Every structure is written in C-alpha cells, then in structure tokens.
C-alpha cells in the first residue's frame, strides 16, 4: 500500500517521524532531498562550537548560522573527516535538517 502526506511547517516533526518512512523536501519548486527518514537522520550531524573553528571548513556544512556563542550547523557525515574535540556533535531532527537546507548559504 502506498500513501502520500504533505508536510506543513506548523505541524510538529515528531508526528512526521512517527508516520513517515520517506521524506521528500520540495522548496521553491525544487526537490531538495528525498530519502528514508532514518537515512536522513543518520547521514547528517548537528555541530555547535566556537566560530574560530569554522575557518576553512565552512564549505563542509549544508548550512550554518552564527550567534554570540559561536556557530550551529548541519553537515553530511560523509563530507566531514576529523571533527575538532571542541565541537559539540548532536543528532539532528528532521525539522533541523529541513530548516538548515532551507537556509543554505
């Protein structure tokens, strides 16, 4: 059986994680990604750290934002290499992934 559901930004990602096997993200008429929900989460990583550690690695991020404490961003795990021990690593949510793809630099 095949079903289709449309994501609306005001609906919690928790619901979508529970009911979705695949997520396709379309922004401004372009397909940004389409993959199994678990693959999306396991192939990305949320990184946070001091902005001084961004020098030379900015292009490794899907997107990042700067704040007064440093940076926060999403990267694909296969593009990273060795991560500085001062960078906090975390598992992103589907909502995090979609937001950072939407804010691509």
Cα–Cα distance, 67 to 49 (Å, whole number) = 10
Residue 79 lies in a domain: yes
Residue 1 lies in a domain: no
pTM value?
0.77
Residue 77 lies in a domain: yes
Residue 93 lies in a domain: yes
Strands 61-67, 70-76: pairing is antiparallel
For the chain, how many structural domains are there in total?
1
Quote the domain boundaries for residue 23: 13-102
Read off φ and ψ for residue 29, nearest 5 degrees: 80, 5
Query: How high is the pLDDT of residue 53?
Result: 86
Cα–Cα distance, 19 to 13 (Å, whole number) = 10
Residue 8 lies in a domain: no
Residue 6 lies in a domain: no
Range with the poorest average pLDDT among 1-15, 38-52, 86-100: 1-15
Burial classification of residue 8, based on how many CB atoms lie within 10 Å of its CB (0-12 exposed, 13-18 middle, 19 or more buried) = exposed
| Model pLDDT for residues 40-73, shown as the tens digit of each residue | 999 999 999 999 888 878 888 899 999 999 999 9
Read off φ and ψ for residue 30, nearest 5 degrees: -110, 140
């Amino acid at each position: 059986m095949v079903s289709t559901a449309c994501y609306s930004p005001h609906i919690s990602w928790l619901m979508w994680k529970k009911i979705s096997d695949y997520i396709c993200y379309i922004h401004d008429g372009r397909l940004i990604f389409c993959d199994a929900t678990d693959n999306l989460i396991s192939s990305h990583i949320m990184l946070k750290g001091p902005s001084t550690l961004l020098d030379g690695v900015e292009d490794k991020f899907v997107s990042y934002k700067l704040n007064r404490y440093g940076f926060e961003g999403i990267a694909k795990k296969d593009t990273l290499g060795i991560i500085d021990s001062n960078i906090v690593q975390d598992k992103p949510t589907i909502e995090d992934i979609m937001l950072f793809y939407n804010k691509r630099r």
